[in-house]
Structure 1
Amino acid sequence: MTARLGSRSLRTRLLVFITAVLVCVCAALALTTAFAQRAYLMGNLDDRVSDAVERNAGGAALHPELTRDLTFLNEGGQPAGMLAARIDGNGDILSAAVVTQDAPPRSLTAAQTDALKGIAPNGSPDTRTVPGLGTYRVAALDAGGIRVVTGLPMDDVLDMIGDLVEVEAAVAAVGLTVAGCVCAVVIRRQLRPLGRVAATAVEVSHAPLGHGQVTGLTRVPERDTDPGSEAGQVGAALNRMIDHVETSLAQRQHSEEQVRRSEERMRRFLADASHELRTPLASIAGYAELMNRGTDRIEPGLAWRRVNAESARMRSLVEDLLLLARLDEGRPLQSAEVDMAALVAEAVWDARAAGAAHLWQLELDLDGPALVLGDEARLHQVVANLLANARVHTPAGTTVTATVGVTAAACVIRVHDDGPGIPAELLPAVFERFTRADSSRTRAGVLEGGSGLGLAIVAAITTAHGGRIDVQSRPGRTEFTLELPVAELPAAGTAMRARTAPV
């Protein structure tokens, strides 16, 4: 409603302004025409008066002894309504008459004669109002001592000027009406885009920008964003502003969501860490209490072994937490050239020693050296954690295969097994901290099972090296795929034959 009123007010102001300009222009044209026409008609009348007074003076000069003679008015060609008078040297009227239609000249009355007094005999036209006859243009001329006054009526000229003004006023009124209607239509059409822009701005101002959905804000239609018009420029600028506002709000909402998720992860992390640390601490406290009492319910050597085992478990958990904290802070890792083929082979040998009940295989499919730049100890930890995950969560007799390959841009390491697989509902969170498998991948024991940080450490170290980790799983096949950027392109002619060998 506000946008409509604003647009209507602007339209009204424009229409009033344009109408005022047109009125001024029409008035100026009408006045100029009227004055020009009046000057022309008056000039023509003055010429006729001058000719008439000269002719009458010539007629009076034929009888100079007759000082009151007006017989020249009887001559043919004298226009009806023309008046003439004879004056003496003092300017007094001696005789005066007016030419009538189809009748002899009629003498003027005393009041009419008085209207002709005081005219200088220099031939200059003057305007006088003669009672009963109207307005006259008169002139007096002295020709050899003979002074004659002659006048012609102005009513025809004044009527013509009045008619001209009326016609111009009528034409101007019609023109203003037509122009006003045309201007109103044009202004209305030209301001429609501006009205739609204003309506869009009002609609955006009513959107709940402080909360909720911040995308999909109303935009100015494309037809109203033509840069060739002022309204289009305003519409395009408003669309850019809306885009900026929407982007800023989306970024703020994303940041708030990230903060909320980070806080949720932190709370869950602290709860899980507290739970993990509470168990070994309670065990250590229990065994220490038994040893302090000196009871014979437990052998001191066994108690010390359990205390050492739980301490080692706590130390491993704390080290894992510290490592994740360092990686979260973005602390730089050591960088050196690492041969991933040799590193994976060593990790497979170590896994075989820890899990002799499994069948371990190593596959090398290399077209060149499997060299990456990174922290050798952390990369070894990544491969070791993947192999340990396969060993701990699969039954005895499972085949675990580690494959090393090289592409043009990455060194690819795959660890797959033919165990029972990871539950589908667990796959999206398998790399999150303290994620535990269900009974289908039951851990071998409390000490071997770890704290649920192994795969989280794998993902963090991989990301820190600019790589990526992925997992696919179904019953009978679970495969982790690790990709790391290569240190250099493989050299030509150094291809190694692919082989598969039990370790």
Structure 2
Amino acid sequence: MTAPPRPRTRSMRTRLLLFISATLVVVCAAMALTTVFAQRSYLLGNLDDRVTNAAERSLGGASLHPDLDKDLTFLHESGHPAGMLAARLDADGSIVAAALVGQDAEPQTLTAAQRTALAGITADGSKHTRTVPGLGTYRVTALNNNGVRVLTGLPMDDVQDMISGLVVIEAGVAAAGLTVAGCVCAVVIRRQLRPLGRVAATAAEVSRAPLGHGEVAGLTRVPDRDTDPDSEAGQVGAALNLMIDHVESSLAERQRSEEQMRRSEERMRRFLADASHELRTPLASIAGYAELMNRGTDRVEPVLAWRRVSAESARMTGLVEDLLLLARLDEGRPLQSSEVDLAALVAEAVWDARAAGGGHDWQLELRLDAPALVFGDEARLHQVVANLLANARMHTPVGTRVVASVESTDSRCVIRVRDDGPGIPPSLLPTVFERFTRADTSRARADAKSGGSGLGLAIASAITGAHGGRIGVESVPGRTEFTIELPVVGEVNELPAVLPRPASV
């Protein structure tokens, strides 16, 4: 048998970690980008406001001398931030003069290259970002007031440095957070998947059990700690335990069915062998006496031969009738039903038994707290009691006391047949109600009259069961008691349409 594949809990753990890590990375990246863009938008808005204020102040200073189109004297006023650049524009938007405010120094005139970087800006108040050679990146705007046009710009280095620092800090925090979250997730996932690993190990162990043959019992179960219904892993463990219970019960039922089938086949083979023997014996006797009569030999009297033929015919007829009765009961054919007085029925059966076996001490006991009335087939119930009494007569020595008693209450009627004979062998008790069960297990009995065919108790059991009752026996040396329990009238008003099939074949 090939070994089952190893549980792939590690792969599941890895996939979960990768999924969670990817999710965290996406979430952190989205948060970082959102923060950076929001901060950048805020800083740019603040810088644009400062640029607009500086442009308006410069325009106000230039408007004092509108006829001087190259005048930048307003840059000498205090309050201008260091690094601010300003330029005068002509009507075409070209720069005619441009300078840079220094730190505690005179404004510095811009070079041609720097002025070229600022060209093309319309004096409409819109904001522009330009990279000025040697100075860096600037935020620039241009304003117009009655023909006076001024361009003003402030450096963006502080904003860019702040945004870059923010990106570095957020990247570091995100990396540290992802590392910590990954470690925590790994520990949590490992702990959460540990029960699934034990469940998988249990399933693998069960799969190695010989379920296809042999007795299967005590299969490994998932521990109780892994069957908590409040967790998904616990639900899987509980479902696996339930499935194992079903597997065990199904296998046990199959084994019981197979065992019953084997026993049934064995009983059938024994039944056929015993029935064949029981029928062959009287047929052989009849054939032998008929042959002697045909030969006309003087050694056998015709009257004796006819008596033997009649006796064997009656014996064979009784056996066939018993077999036919059992077959009808097996088929579930309904019996005749009427109200039967068990007290009168048992009394009549004891009287018949006293006449057939005068050497025994026959007694009748009636313990009636209520009328002993049942609903059933009177002839068949009489046959049950007669079979029990005949069984006691044939298997006990002369002088044995046989007591037949009837007990009746409001809920049940009980018939007991008790004797003080040698008892039933313990090895025979489990099968005493099976067909062709005899104390003498040999088939070739010296005297056919020494015992019955082994169908009497089987018929008693089948008829009792067909009436919804129970039959049992208890036996020890010196005391054997058969007990029949039947429901009283009112408990059952009619026999079942389909009679229960007896347990024995």
Q: Shorter-chain TM-score category? A: 0.7 to 0.9
Identity %: 77
Partner of 1:260: 262
Q: Is the 8 A contact 2:70 2:96 kept in 1?
A: yes
Instruction: Report the alpha carbon displacement of residue 274 of structure 1 after superposing the two structures with TM.
Output: 0.9
Q: Work out the CA distance in 1 between the residues paired with 2:407 and 2:55.
A: 128
Unaligned runs of 5+ in 2: 492-505
Question: 1:59 and 1:488 mapped to 2: Cα distance?
Answer: 125
> Mean Cα displacement is larger for which, 165-174 or 193-202?
193-202
SS in structure 2 of the partner of residue 149 of structure 1? strand
2:95 matched to which residue of 1?
Answer: 93
Task: Choose the corresponding residue for 2:380, options 369, 375, 378.
Answer: 378
Distance 1:91 1:462 in 2: 124
Q: Deviations over 1:403-459 (max 9, x none)?
A: 1211332212222222222222222222222222259xxx99522522121111111
1:41-56 equivalent positions in 2, closer than 5 A: 41-56=43-58
CA distance in 2 between counterparts of 1:143 and 1:460 reads 125
Residue 4 in structure 1 maps to residue 3 in structure 2: no
CA offset at residue 481 of structure 1? 1.7
SS in 1 for 2:118: coil
Range with greater deviation from structure 2 (86-95 or 34-43) = 86-95
> Residues 265 and 145 (structure 1 numbering): CA distance in 2 closer, same or farther, change over 3 Å?
same
| Structure 1 match to 2:501 | none
Q: Which amino acid aligns with 1:288?
A: A
Amino acid at match of 1:107: T
1:17 maps to 2:19:
yes
- TM-score, normalised to structure 1, is 0.88
Deviations 1:265-285 (A, max 9, x none): 111100111111222222222
- Secondary structure at 1:127's aligned position in 2? strand
Q: 5 Å matches for 1:323-402?
A: 323-402=325-404
Q: Secondary structure at the match of 2:474?
A: strand
Once the 2 structures are TM-superposed, how far is the Cα of residue 217 of structure 1 from its aligned partner? 4.3
How many residues are paired up?
Answer: 485
Query: Is 1:433 the equivalent of 2:432?
Result: no
> Which letter maps to 2:425?
P
Whether the 8 Å contact between 2:117 and 2:130 is mirrored in structure 1 is yes
In structure 1, C-alpha distance between the alignment counterparts of 2:349 and 2:469, rounded to whole Å: 19
1:261 alignment partner AA: R
Kindly indicate whether the alpha-carbon contact (under 8 Å) linking 2:370 and 2:409 is maintained by their aligned counterparts in 1: no
- Cα contact 1:337–1:372 (8 A) shared by 2: yes
Identify the residue that residue 36 of structure 1 maps to in structure 2: 38
State the Cα distance separating 1:248 from its structure 2 match. 4.1
Contact 1:371 1:488 in 2 (8 A): no
Structure 1: how far apart are the matches of 2:92 and 2:407? 139
Distance (whole Å) between structure 1 residues aligned to residue 156 and residue 396 of structure 2: 128
Map of 1:84 onto structure 2: 86
Cα shift at 1:157: 0.8
Cα pair 1:406 1:412 within 8 Å, conserved: yes
Write out aligned runs for 1:245-256 (5 A): 245-256=247-258
> By how many angstroms is 1:75 displaced?
2.6
Give the counterpart letter for 2:14 in structure 1: T
Q: 1:21 to 1:227 in 2, by over 3 A?
A: same
- Residue 119 of structure 1: aligned partner: 121
Secondary structure, aligned partner of 2:472: strand
Counterparts of 1:444 and 1:372, CA distance in 2: 42
Q: Which residue identity lines up with residue 173 of structure 1 in the other structure?
A: A
Pair 1:334–1:216, CA change in 2 (3 A): farther
Equivalent pair of 1:364/1:405 in contact (CA under 8 Å): yes
The aligned residue for residue 480 of structure 1 is: 482
Amino acid across the alignment from 1:436: R
Contact 1:87–1:94 (Cα < 8 Å) also in 2: yes
TM-superposed CA distance for 1:102, in Å, is: 3.6
Name 2:407's counterpart in structure 1: 405
- Per the alignment, in what secondary structure is the counterpart of residue 277 of structure 2? helix
| 8 Å Cα contact 1:333/1:375 also seen in 2 | yes
Report SS of the residue matched to 1:357: coil
Q: Distance in 1 between matches of 2:229 and 2:453?
A: 63
Q: CA 1:140 to 1:484, structure 2 compared with 1: closer, same or farther past 3 Å?
A: closer
Aligned partner letter, 1:4: P
Cα pair 1:392 1:444 within 8 Å, conserved: no
- Report the counterpart of residue 135 of structure 1 in structure 2: 137
Residue deviations 1:237-291 (CA, integer Å, cap 9, x gap): 4444444444444444433333332222111100111111222222222222222
**Counterpart residue identity of residue 322, structure 2:** D
Cα distance 1:122–1:431, how it changes in 2: closer, same or farther (>3 A)? Answer: closer
Using the TM superposition, give the Cα deviation of residue 298 of structure 1 relative to its aligned residue in structure 2, in angstroms: 2.0
SS in 2 for 1:123: coil
Cα distance in 1 for residues equivalent to 2:368 and 2:141: 128
Q: CA deviation at 1:154?
A: 0.9
**How far off is 1:37 after superposition?**
1.2
CA displacement at 1:135 relative to structure 2: 0.8
Q: Which blocks of at least 5 consecutive residues in structure 1 are unaligned?
A: 490-503
How far residue 362 of structure 1 moved from its aligned partner, in angstroms, is: 1.3
Corresponding position: 1:279 with 2:294: no
1:448-486 residue CA offsets vs partner (Å, 9 max, x unmatched): 522121111111111111222222222222222222222
> In 2, distance between residues paired with 1:143 and 1:18?
60
Question: Residue 370 of structure 2 contacts residue 410 of structure 2 at CA under 8 Å; is this kept in 1?
Answer: no
Aligned to 1:26: 28
SS class of match (1:103) = coil
Answer whether contact 2:129 2:138 (CA < 8 A) is retained: yes
Report the CA distance shift for 1:410/1:105 in structure 2 as closer, same or farther (over 3 A).
same
Equivalence for 2:161: 159
1:68 paired residue number: 70
